[in-house]
Amino acid sequence: MRPILLFSCALLASAQTIVVTGTAQPVPLEEADRSVTVLDNLPQKSPLFGGFYQFLQLDSSVDLQQRNPGVQGDITIRGGTFGQTLVLIDGIRINDVQTGHHNMDLPVPIDAIGQVQILQGSGSTFYGSDAVSGVVNVITRVAEPGELLFRSAIGSFGTNAESGLFAFGFGPLLQQFSFERTLSDGFEDDREYRSTSGSSESLLRTRLGATRIFLSALDRPFGANQFYGDYNSWERTKTWYAALHQDFGKNTELSFSYRRHTDLFVLLRDDSQIYTNRHADQSYDAAVRRHNDLKKLFRVSYGAEGIEDSILSNNLGRHLRRQGAMYANLDMRSLKRFSLSVGVREQFYGRQQSFFAPTVSGGAWLSEKVKLRASVSRAFRLPTYTELYYSDPSDLPNPNLKPEQAMSYEAGIDWHLRKNWRAFATAFDRDEKNGIDYVRGSPSDPWQAMNFDRLRFLGVESGVEGDLPHAQKLTVQFTAIHGALADEGGEQSEYGFNFPTQNAVVSWQILTKQGALARTRLGVIKRYQLNPYALWDVSIAWTRPRIRPYVQLTNLTNTSYEEIIGVNMPGRAILAGVEIQAWKKR
């Protein structure tokens, strides 16, 4: 089930932060019954960040397991695997059916992103398969007519980056184009990359309702040394994406999307004839959603969804999978007093197979400043085609894999200390059945895809955030996770036990009266059975004139670390550039 989306222009213009992820209807952030992080005003903050991945690092419950920053990385939430995190664009799923390693092949330039909402915890009732441990919803923005923005930078490791956006309007039509291009020689041999993306977004308002059409593409060749074993590999992925949102009055919305993704993988770069894979997958997604107000405090939302996924590969073969779903949600809400939401989803897949995914969540205000919230939900994930059929010298498939299942429980408290200050704490418990991972008995054995009988993750996430004098903003977050396997057979796990047992993030930002904007982020992470390490980033930008220089400094302490075991990450780096706002109608 997906919420009726608000337009990102309205979201950013509103003084109140609105949540549309993990809810049946848009609600103010303080009224959300689930644990949700909202990263907004991304266009204004872009000069302070090296890319989309750095925004996600502001949430301590999110773990980025990158092989090369900004090129390929897996995202996990609350200790789950990368396949258990669902990625959305404007509420529409874009997870890759070939492998979850490509879920973050996001075909959206940075300047086209207005907001990111992160749901910590299960979301299958709203979004279907893959939303086991969390959801990342990328919400595109509608720029102001006449906005023209260009950004260019150079930096360490031969990095060269450009991005830009142009928006214009004619009567009821608003049109914008954006692009992003980054290339680097790489910080070590066979780690160079080039990433190019472009998008077009059209918004037309008529008597029928609003129509939004989003078109985008991404091309990303890169050196993949050690990415999937002790090989000097090379890879190139391409993504094409198209989405239509159509409103019919105030209560009904229709959406349709198409995604095509190709993956060219060369195991040995020096001799591509030995082992080369060519994969091409396609996904179609159509949904209709409707909501009705029954009485003053009640709203019912319901709808249906259809999904078709297919793949053509010289390694995995040709496969097709169709899914269908029906869902309904009853929401009862009295602002600043109480809320209760009950949702159900029946997902159909395969040969007369189905999965029932319910969710119950609620909240109660003990006072004007203190709110209690809790939820219980059931989630699932269908195995990817790689897990079912892919084979190479290091990995073996398992065509008999069962879908993952999980029951998730959480309880939390929000404390609004004073204006613009908030503290929160959430305890969570996820009990998984038939969890999917690659395992092996010894380092000399290949990895074998298999189901675990039982996995359990317990944890707590907490934080405090607010405004300080002189336009300063401070955020402190901490997440601790304990994972346990019910029946340990002595096998090694490739992905399931690489989660952070402790993750702390401190970020601070200031905007001076003279127009200087600065931020710093310090993150300390302790992975399962590994030593902790710290990463410190600092960025400075000038905001007043139309020509705005900026500097980004990453890994200032030159920490040696790996987010994926065996894959080195870059040391200290600098990127310096300029942002030009040529013209913006006011």
Confidence of residue 10 (pLDDT cuts 50, 70, 90): very low
Cβ(134)–Cβ(121) under 8 Å? yes
| Residue 331 covered by a domain | yes
Cβ(95)–Cβ(74) under 8 Å? no
Q: What is the pLDDT of residue 11?
A: 33
Task: Work out the number of other CB atoms within 10 angstroms of the CB of residue 220.
Answer: 21
| Residue 2 covered by a domain | no
Q: What is the pLDDT of residue 327?
A: 95
d(CA 202, CA 134): 29
pLDDT digit string, tens, across residues 410-462: 999 999 987 789 999 999 999 999 999 999 888 888 999 999 888 999 999 99
Determine how β-strand 317-334 pairs with β-strand 27-28: unpaired
pLDDT surpasses 80 at 263? yes
Confidence of residue 343 (pLDDT cuts 50, 70, 90): very high
| Residue 264 covered by a domain | yes
Q: What is the pLDDT of residue 14?
A: 40
CA atoms within 13 A on the CB side of 97: 25
d(CA 515, CA 579): 14
Q: What is the pLDDT of residue 394?
A: 83
pLDDT digit string, tens, across residues 452-471: 888 999 999 999 999 998 88
Q: What is the pLDDT of residue 7?
A: 32
Bridge-partner residues for 579, per DSSP? 151, 548
| Residue 539 covered by a domain | yes
Task: Select from 171, 139, 345 the least CA-distant residue to 243.
Answer: 139
CA atoms within 13 A on the CB side of 210: 16
Q: What is the pLDDT of residue 2?
A: 38
Q: What is the pLDDT of residue 487?
A: 60
Cα 119 to Cα 21, 32, 404, 420, 453, distances in angstroms? 7, 11, 19, 21, 26
Q: What is the pLDDT of residue 495?
A: 86
Confidence of residue 5 (pLDDT cuts 50, 70, 90): very low
Joined tokens for residue 246:
């159509």
d(CA 41, CA 15): 12
Domain range spanning residue 476? 8-583
Cα 361 to Cα 121, 330, 578, distances in angstroms? 12, 11, 46
| Residue 3 covered by a domain | no
Determine how β-strand 404-418 pairs with β-strand 370-381: antiparallel
Cβ(484)–Cβ(455) under 8 Å? yes
pLDDT digit string, tens, across residues 206-235: 998 999 999 999 999 999 999 888 889 999
SS3 assignment for 445-504: CCEEEEEEEEEEEEEEEEEEEEEECCCEEEEEEEEEEEEEECCCCCCEECCCCCCEEEEE
Task: Select from 426, 487, 489 the least CA-distant residue to 458.
Answer: 426
| Residue 484 covered by a domain | yes
Cα 384 to Cα 259, 367, 427, distances in angstroms? 16, 46, 30
| Residue 363 covered by a domain | yes
pLDDT digit string, tens, across residues 533-561: 999 999 999 988 889 999 999 999 999 99
Q: What is the pLDDT of residue 211?
A: 96
The domain total for the chain is 1
| Residue 1 covered by a domain | no
Q: Is 116 left (phi over 0), alpha (psi -120 to 50) or beta?
A: beta
Name, in order, each residue with C-beta under 8 angstroms of 298's C-beta and a sequence gap of 6 or more. 330, 331, 332
d(CA 139, CA 216): 14
CATH number, domain containing residue 157: 2.40.170.20
Cβ(26)–Cβ(38) under 8 Å? no
Once rounded to an integer, what is the mean pLDDT over residues 351-365?
A: 94
pLDDT digit string, tens, across residues 469-503: 888 999 999 999 999 876 656 678 888 888 999 99
Cβ(319)–Cβ(329) under 8 Å? no
Q: What is the pLDDT of residue 4?
A: 34
